[in-house]
Amino acid sequence: MAIQVVMDRTGDSRHRFDPDGEQELAKAEQRFYELTKVGFTAAVRTGPGKVSQIQSFDPNAEETVFFPRLVGG
C-alpha cells in the first residue's frame, strides 16, 4: 500500500491506495494534481531523512507528503 499524507490543521489526512489497482492509482493521481494545482508542495522520501520535491505524480512513491504554500511570517 502507498500513502499520500496531506498536512492540515488536524495534523494530517492520510489517503492509502493500492498502486497496483488501476482505479485507486487514478484517484491518487487526481488528488496529487488537485492539491499541487492549488499550491501544495509534494515531496517523497528517498532515503532516511532524504526528501525530494516532486512536480509530477510518481506512481512508485510509497509515501508522498503535501504541505500548503509557504508564506513569510
Q: How far is the CB of 10 from other proteins (least distance, A)?
A: 5
Give 44's strand partners.
52, 64
Whose cell is 492509482? That residue is: 25
Cell numbers describing residue 19:
498502486
Q: Does 56 bind other proteins (CB under 8 A)?
A: no
Q: Tell me how many degrees the CA angle 18-22-25 measures, rounded to the nearest 5.
A: 55
List binders of other proteins among 12-51 (CB under 8 A). 12, 39, 41, 43, 45, 48-51
List interacting residues with other proteins (CB under 8 A): 5, 7-12, 39, 41, 43, 45, 48-53, 65, 67-73
